[in-house]
């Protein structure tokens, strides 16, 4: 069948969107190309008209997630209190509930690190976030504090998602959020 001019580009983007979501939600290894294509109403054979391998899609989907999250972070920057807003969003119950739409670091970095050659994109995502936090921490130790804050945010979100007991999950999320916001505000005074 022949389609409109940009049809293929649109299909490609649909694959990237869905993959980016499933990779973050279920993990890369646990996401098959067959179910992925089926979820879009397509058959698996067509996949290779768009990408040369699953690995290529992993890289592109991660990049897509990174750009998406950068946009979302910039929303926080536009607010009155950029850093507290960013922290509150990152450690929100909404973010915890939607790993497929959220930061790829807590969900994908362990698996990507365990693979043969980790992606250079992980470095880039981390650097971007550190720079963003640092730029909004007007204190001497901003470079150091930003590392602690990112580590704590990624760790708290990861643990809060891995736990069975909802009360413990809330405690991990909310306590980290509260302390990090305190630190970010204390330092800007």
Which entry of DNA, a second copy, none binds 112, CB below 5 to 8 A by partner kind?
A: a second copy
Asked if 24 is part of the footprint of DNA (rule: CB under 7 A), the reply reads no
43 binding partner (options a second copy, DNA, none; Cβ < 5 to 8 Å by kind):
DNA
Binding status of residue 144 toward a second copy by CB under 8 A? yes
* Length in residues, the chain: 189
HEC string for 75-88: HHHCCCCHHHHHHH
From candidates 55, 59, 111, 128, binder to DNA by CB under 7 A: 55
**145 neighbors 183 (Cβ within 8 angstroms):** yes
* Minimum CB distance to a second copy smaller for 6 or for 185: 185
Count of residues in contact with a second copy, rule CB under 8 A: 50
From the list DNA, a second copy, none, pick the one residue 106 interacts with, judged by a Cβ distance below 5 to 8 Å according to partner type.
Answer: a second copy
Q: How many helices (H) and strands (E) does the chain have?
A: 9, 0
Backbone angles phi, psi at 69, to 5 degrees: -70, -30
Q: How far is the CB of 50 from DNA (least distance, A)?
A: 7
And the tokens for 176? 């980290």
């Amino acid at each position: 069948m022949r389609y409109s001019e940009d049809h293929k580009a649109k299909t490609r983007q649909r694959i990237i969107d869905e993959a980016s979501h499933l990779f973050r939600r279920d993990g890369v290894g646990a996401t098959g190309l067959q179910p992925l294509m089926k979820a879009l109403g397509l058959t698996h054979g067509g996949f290779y008209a768009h990408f040369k391998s699953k690995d290529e899609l992993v890289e592109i989907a991660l990049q897509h997630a990174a750009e998406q999250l950068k946009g979302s972070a910039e929303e926080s920057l536009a607010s009155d209190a950029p850093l507290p807003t960013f922290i509150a969003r990152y450690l929100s119950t909404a973010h915890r509930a939607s790993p497929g739409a959220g930061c790829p670091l807590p969900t994908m970095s362990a698996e990507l690190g365990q693979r043969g050659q980790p992606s250079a994109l992980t470095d880039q995502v981390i650097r971007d976030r550190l720079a963003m936090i640092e730029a909004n921490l007007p204190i001497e130790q901003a470079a150091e504090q930003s590392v602690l804050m990112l580590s704590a945010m990624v760790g708290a979100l990861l643990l809060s998602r891995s736990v069975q007991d909802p009360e413990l999950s809330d405690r991990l999320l909310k306590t980290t959020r509260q302390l990090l916001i305190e630190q970010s505000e204390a330092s800007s005074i």
